Structure 1
Amino acid sequence: MTDTSIEPSADAPAQLSTLDRFLPVWIGAAMLIGIVLGKAIPDLDETLDAIKIDTVSLPIAIGLLAMMYPVLAKVKYTRIGESLDRRSLVMSLVLNWLIGPALMFALAWILLPDLPEYRTGLIIVGLARCIAMVLIWNDLACGSRELAAVLVAINSLFQIVAYSILGYFYLELLPEWLGLDSDGIDVTMWEIAKSVLIFLGIPLLAGFLTRTIGERAKGVEWYEERFLPRIGPVALYGLLFTIVILFALQGEQITEQPWDVARIAVPLLIYFALMWFGSYFAGLKMGFPYERNTSIAFTAAGNNFELAIAVSIGVFGVTSGQALAGVVGPLIEVPVLVALVYVSLWAKRRYYDTDGVRPRS
């Protein structure tokens, strides 16, 4: 991701670098490469899954850290307090922790009543609120980096406390109340905390220290105009590497079960569309500025697929249907949210005044 610190304007897509403008092409190529590798190399999924420290996949961790660090190094941490207000916080919490999980639960049961493993995998995805890729989508759509960083941090804390509780509620308690069968989930609070600390804590600390030390040593102008453009592309390379690894893990299953993948994709498509458009137009009605509204919408629509996949693999196994559903998550989420970046930039021109501060009547 090259420097996207330019203020958003009506011709924002033209300001993106060649790498950013053709992001859907690179992502599609990375998915294809991952699937081909997983299909062509015997036991590649088991080999990749074996490269880990404790239960953390080292290849996935490397890709995610490379993806997260440049984005978090762009955040202006001294402005974070200016970005958050009570309405934004309440709306984000309601979307992420009440509406999102409930919507995914409903879609999974309505559209996959005969596929319990995939249904459980989708519910696990719905419970894992986004703490990583949303920063990239938000950055490309010219949302507020500071607000996105705050919302991601809040999601991380809620995830540590609430994930196991919500997992028990949506996978055991609620189905029992409704007379439905379910597989259940057994994941400890430490497993979730460890994932959040690694995938968010490390790059967040690195980004904060980089900006603090860099600005003091070289000045703000050098940091913004020279350093950030140099490290920007690393985020894209990390994203593409992570996608290749994820799809290599499930390449054989994806190619051998295309109908199952299509069945899993339908509720995901509906979910991302409802969450993003519902959030965006609710923000318009509430009068949120473009940057803030965009950050809330992408935070609401995205999911923490790395945590969902880690939980699915840890509880049900690397070749389970639950793990396949977790991997199909980014297969659908990545191209859909890339498309929503362009929708967001179009909506700014259509629904906001020139500076993006006030929605048009």
Structure 2
Amino acid sequence: MKKKMKFFEKYLSIWVALCIIGGFLLGKIFPQVPKTLSKWEYANVSIPIAILIWLMIYPMMLKIDFSSIKNVGRNPKGLIITLTVNWLIKPFTMYFIAYFFLKIVFGNIIGVELSSEYVAGAVLLGAAPCTAMVFVWSYLTNGDALYTLVQVAINDLVILFAFAPIVSFLLKVGNITVPFKTLIFSVVIFVLIPLIVAIITRHYVIKNKGKEYLERKFIPKFSTISIIGLLLTLILLFSFQGETIEKNFIHILLISIPLIIQTFLIFTIGYFWAYFWKVPHSIAAPAAMIGASNFFELAVAVAISLFGMNSGAALATVVGVLVEVPVMLTLVKIANTTRKKFKKA
């Protein structure tokens, strides 16, 4: 039976496009809204945006079963591929590809200041491997659900320690200085705290209602909340981006080019590595998808914290959201079409 995505997930790019339009109109017609909201911040973190991003991140953290880590020794090849591609290859290829296109190829069109911010946004995407949507990609490619849980759980733990140093290093290479404390603070606020709250919630619900209730009834209740949080975040974000978009609408297309190239490159590296290493397709496909896809919720949150809601970095991370679903669905189709090749491997 052919597997299908849920309605909201399948048309996520359309919702993002509508949010771009809605946010743009909101900023134009009611400019007092973004001006008022911009005053509500603490330590460079927008409080309204922080709340909405929590609504996005907490539900996805609920899905992660850290007890699955005990299965880490089962087929270690898949995990080695995931960790190597995600943390030793992906952030650096993203930087070089984004720098080449946004600073060199399109530099004269974009301008020096904005091109640097766009590269910064791309780096934030590149250093944040997927946490939530990978469960969808795994499902659509008949991936091993339990092993995907292991891969995601391990990656989330690595994010806590590796995200800030890698981002800080790559931005310094690109002559972009950001406060390391703000990076650490963002990881604590948008990863560590919701992760801890989700772990406590899982333990409490399982203890009182059982694991089946958690997975079949409790977690699904939050799926819609997560989508709403994402869409409202994008509307607010683009209410601040109105002037930037009006002047540089073509930039959205230019930003998408290196992001799309990077996605195909990372998938190809992980997928072919798994093929030649004779990893089962049910593990190979999700392993390649985790690196190809992005934890865009974290990237958006950190971009706003570091550069502001009307920044080019924030715009670049949202373009990542815009292109992700159609590109990843293309990769899902490639993975499903080549499944039989792995049986012969």
> Aligning the two structures, in what range does the TM-score lie when normalised by the shorter sequence?
0.7 to 0.9
RMSD: 2.8
The equivalent residue for 1:306 is 301
Q: Does 1:330 align with 2:318?
A: yes
What percentage of aligned pairs have identical amino acids? 21
Give the distance between the partners of 1:329 and 1:227, measured in 2 at CA. 30
Q: Does 1:73 align with 2:69?
A: no
The equivalent residue for 1:137 is 133
Task: Name the SS for the 1:12 alignment partner.
Answer: coil
Alpha-carbon spacing, 1:349–1:275, altered in 2? closer, same or farther (3 Å): closer
Offset from partner CA, 1:273-329 (integer Å, 9 cap, x none):
43344444444444444455435434344252322343223xxxx65xxx1243143
Q: Does 1:207 align with 2:161?
A: no
Quick check: 1:88–1:296 contact (8 Å CA) kept in 2?
A: yes
Give the distance between the partners of 1:49 and 1:360, measured in 2 at CA. 57
2:107 pairs with one of 98, 110, 113: 113
Deviation of 1:346 (Å)? 2.2
Give the distance between the partners of 1:82 and 1:185, measured in 2 at CA. 40
Give the distance between the partners of 2:104 and 2:127, measured in 1 at CA. 27
The runs of 5 or more residues in structure 1 that have no matched partner are 1-9, 172-183
Residues 31-46 of structure 1 mapped to structure 2, 5 A cutoff: 31-46=20-35
The equivalent residue for 2:120 is 124
Deviation of 1:120 (Å)? 0.6
Offset from partner CA, 1:182-238 (integer Å, 9 cap, x none):
xx3222221100001111112211221111111111111211222122222221111
Give the distance between the partners of 1:335 and 1:266, measured in 2 at CA. 12
The equivalent residue for 1:152 is 156
The equivalent residue for 1:165 is 169
Give the distance between the partners of 1:18 and 1:261, measured in 2 at CA. 25
Task: Name the SS for the 2:133 alignment partner.
Answer: helix
Task: Name the SS for the 1:105 alignment partner.
Answer: helix
Alpha-carbon spacing, 1:80–1:246, altered in 2? closer, same or farther (3 Å): farther
Give the distance between the partners of 1:229 and 1:98, measured in 2 at CA. 36
Runs ≥4 residues deviating over 4 A: 129-133, 358-361
Alpha-carbon spacing, 1:100–1:68, altered in 2? closer, same or farther (3 Å): same
Quick check: 1:351–1:359 contact (8 Å CA) kept in 2?
A: no
Deviation of 1:94 (Å)? 1.9
Deviation of 1:36 (Å)? 1.4
1:252 pairs with one of 240, 243, 259: 243
Offset from partner CA, 1:15-56 (integer Å, 9 cap, x none):
x43333443333332222112112222254433322212211
Alpha-carbon spacing, 1:230–1:40, altered in 2? closer, same or farther (3 Å): same
The equivalent residue for 1:297 is 289
Alpha-carbon spacing, 1:349–1:264, altered in 2? closer, same or farther (3 Å): closer
The equivalent residue for 2:227 is 236
Offset from partner CA, 1:58-83 (integer Å, 9 cap, x none):
12211211111111111121112424
Amino acid corresponding to residue 200 of structure 2 in structure 1: L
After TM superposition, the score normalised by the length of structure 2 is 0.83
The equivalent residue for 1:17 is 6
Query: How many residues are matched?
Result: 326
